[in-house]
Structure 1
């Protein structure tokens, strides 16, 4: 799975970083905490590992930093941070199914636009400006990348390489929207079960093809596993969304044999996909790290997400913890969008000013978190309100009675 893994090891992946909140507005604490820690893990991976393993290029993380510093002492903690994206996908599968409850397709579509667009447009513009600061790229080269980014065109290059997973997210959103529109959302359990069996069967075929490459189907199966389009079609990314969807269904409907089988199948497919990805990671190839590490971390976090749903149902948490988790969850999406270009440029400036390697790393991460919290607290709400008002005057697909309370409700999901 070389092509897919090249991105896994090279470009941080993004997902639905929106707040993990139930339609009632009560924060699911475990989801928000997991989201923030996953985003932080990706930042550490980029700054402390990938920055000194990425091939040199005109643009991107390494070029934005300028003079990357090696952090071999942090290898045990940094190299597996890319698994945060698979965690994001799981959370997205859970939260999107949750947010689709009792909503029209138009309301669901509006909620996704309000969740993704303001931060995307804001930080894509920052990445555009920063790219001109650190590189010699021309406007003719960078502007098309920027335009592809702000419309989430499914094929890059984008102004920031992390945006490819937002295109995967949009495909998942589109599928859920179609289910709502067609009325098939009522059959979600059967659809998720069938899809879980499908992706599990696909990864079984991949394992067989790797073991027996002489078989007739081996070539096409391995080619499909490596193809970029397989990510967009959710063939190689769908298992993670399905894990989240299965957790949601089990939480909503209670445990059942079919639900347990579907969850086990999606977990198995996700674990195999992660193992195959890790096998081609530079840490495994060059530093003899075990591909089991990201798999185990992912499984532990998924277990924690399941427990957080049980805890959420009990309703026992302090207001202070809920508010802290909420703030962390809201900051996760801007943290991811900012760190890879804008934050990396700041990181490079700190290094250029002669600050030590480890102080520069810690300060760069702290600055990224501060920018993200500030944006989520003061800037993003205003951008959403303005976008919400514009959507209220849009064509029939997006038009509905629009109020401040509606915007706040969509902010939460």
Structure 2
């Protein structure tokens, strides 16, 4: 075992809390879909509501279930930490291969599974479905896709692209100035948004405030980069690099994250359609992020047993995130039609989603990843001599 792999293994155990938090975030998103969106979403959206068929409503659960989408924002913070950690001591090609092999097999597998379910349920015509499948498979920035969760993967891919550029420019170890620039942008951007909200910037200011929660600004990282930057600053704190500077940068981006979560909440269905307060989501995201950060900095859960559990939890997270909306909605509909009452039906659907995610992660995904990694490495090796000759 090399020194680098030994260090990487030690760091993985020290931050095993992040794997558990990722699984909890995925569970939050799953129950948001199964308990809230499965009946609150419009059937015309061709998503989980249409796949379920004849849903049961959970009006008493709106207060907590409608905020489960914040699991996505928690994912973004964790990505900022983990991707920065994984990028160290990596070449650009190694980083690119690692990210593609991590994301693509699960995305392709569950996109095809979701497409089969949508087709079987008659939710979309084959032509429209084919276009959505193609958009999903290549992470095309503009939807709609087979599964609405794809937009978050598009945002993740843009973050990976930014990190790839930093690796090519040999700036990963000198990332502090980059984080300073990003943090300064967030101060200016969210300051302008708040000023526009208060009416200080006239008509343009009101337009900016409305755009702050738009899909275009979220997927292009304009309004979501603060989550990734908070995670990246947390990683620098974890590594004890310029702690005072990165503590300040974490604080700036944490505050920006609170504001960003408020605007995301304001446009969410729970708030816009059911009169919930946006501050509930803000408080939940802020509390979860602070608890998670404290656990990481104090190396909570670095013990062997917890680390092994966290490893399994981490493997489950990505496939569970991909399976819970369309496939989960289909399983929920089957449970309803089999005669189960609403609460047991949700529990059964959630359990089956978790089981299927585990079977894929532990039995199929690694084989697909290894095969794809071998193919990509061969392609890079074939191109290397040609590039050197050129």
TM (norm. structure 1) is 0.86
Corresponding position of 1:276: 263
Q: CA deviation at 1:93?
A: 0.5
**For the residues of structure 1 that align with 2:277 and 2:26, how far apart are their CA atoms?**
22
Shift of 1:397: 8.9
1:385 equivalent in alignment to 2:351? no
Q: Does 1:349 align with 2:334?
A: yes
Change beyond 3 A, Cα 1:227–1:76: closer
Structure 1 residues 283, 159: CA separation in 2 closer, same or farther (over 3 Å shift)? closer
Report SS of the residue matched to 2:76. helix
Match of 1:200 in 2: 187
Q: Which runs of 5+ in 2 are unaligned?
A: 1-5, 386-390
Tell me if the contact between 1:58 and 1:137 (Cα under 8 Å) persists in the aligned partners: no
SS of alignment partner, residue 355 of structure 1 = coil
Q: Judge conservation of contact 1:90–1:244 (CA < 8 Å) in 2.
A: yes
Residues 200, 396 of structure 1: alpha-carbon distance in 2 compared, 3 angstrom cutoff:
farther
**Structure 1 residues 146, 292: closer, same or farther in 2, change over 3 A?**
same
Q: How does 1:247-266 map to 2 (within 5 A)?
A: 247-254=234-241, 256-266=243-253
Poorly superposed stretches of 4+, deviation over 4 Å: 285-288, 396-400
1:322 to 294, 301, 307: 307
> How far off its partner does 1:214 sit?
5.5
Which segment is superposed worse, 62-71 or 226-235?
Answer: 226-235
Given the alignment of the two structures, is residue 363 of structure 1 paired with residue 348 of structure 2, yes or no?
A: yes
Give yes or no for contact 2:213–2:264 (8 Å, CA) kept in 1: no
Structure 1 segment 163-178 matched on structure 2, within 5 A: 163-178=150-165
Give the match for residue 388 of structure 2.
none
Residue 358 of structure 2 corresponds to: 373
Name the residue aligned to 1:407.
none
Report the more deviating stretch, 169-178 or 225-234: 225-234
**Alpha-carbon distance in structure 1 between the residues aligned to 2:118 and 2:336:** 18
- Residue of structure 2 in register with 1:96 after alignment: 83
Choose the corresponding residue for 2:50, options 43, 63, 74: 63
Contact 1:149 1:158 (8 Å CA) reproduced: yes
Map 1:131-210; keep pairs closer than 5 Å.
131-210=118-197
Residue 220 of structure 1 deviates from its aligned partner by 5.2
Residues 315 and 324 of structure 1, relative CA distance in 2, 3 Å threshold: closer
SS of residue paired to 1:81: coil
**Are 1:31 and 1:305, in contact at CA under 8 Å, matched by a contact in 2?**
yes
How much has 1:137 moved relative to structure 2? Answer: 2.3
Q: CA deviation at 1:232?
A: 3.2
User: Could you give the per-residue CA deviations for residues 320-359 of structure 1, whole angstroms, max 9, x where no partner exists?
Assistant: 2211111111101000101111121111011111111010
- Equivalent residue for 1:113, pick from 100, 108, 116: 100
Pairs within 5 Å for 1:275-314:
275-285=262-272, 287-312=274-299
1:34 equivalent to 2:21? Answer yes
User: 1:397–1:72: structure 2 CA closer, same or farther, 3 Å change rule?
Assistant: farther
Question: 1: CA distance between counterparts of 2:123 and 2:265?
Answer: 34
* Distance in 2 of aligned mates of 1:396 and 1:90: 34
Contact persistence 2:106–2:319 (CA under 8 A) = yes
